[in-house]
Amino acid sequence: MTLPIHQLEQYSLRHRDWVLRVLAEDQGKAVELLVFRGFSSSLTQPTDFDPDVPVLPASATIQSVQRFRSPYNAEQPLAPPQTWADFAAALEAE
């Protein structure tokens, strides 16, 4: 089974000029990530040095995904945030 974060990393490899901001929840804690060119980095908790360790565990629930043009500028999104269900459906259609 492919973790949602791995799906987002693969998506970001295909869209190399985009940065994805992911808002999620894990064990009751808010998590914010950036995904760019196949790599994820947490803005709210330490990111493991080992790229094989997922930044977002399987227990986490993605709340929203938002696309930005690279270089990342939080003031200039390409689109409004999408729910994970909507974004995942777009991934399947791609």
pLDDT tens readout for residues 27-44: 999 999 999 999 999 999
Taking residues 16-28, report their average pLDDT.
Answer: 96
Q: What is the pLDDT of residue 35?
A: 96
Burial classification of residue 4, based on how many CB atoms lie within 10 Å of its CB (0-12 exposed, 13-18 middle, 19 or more buried): buried
Cβ neighbour number for residue 10 with a 10 Å cutoff: 13
Please check the confidence at residue 1 and state whether its pLDDT lies above 80. Answer: no
Alpha carbons 30 and 27: distance in angstroms, whole number: 9
Q: What share of the chain is helix, strand, coil (3-state, %, to 5)?
A: 20, 35, 45
Rg of the Cα trace of the chain?
12
pLDDT tens readout for residues 40-89: 999 998 888 887 888 998 899 999 999 999 999 999 999 999 999 999 99
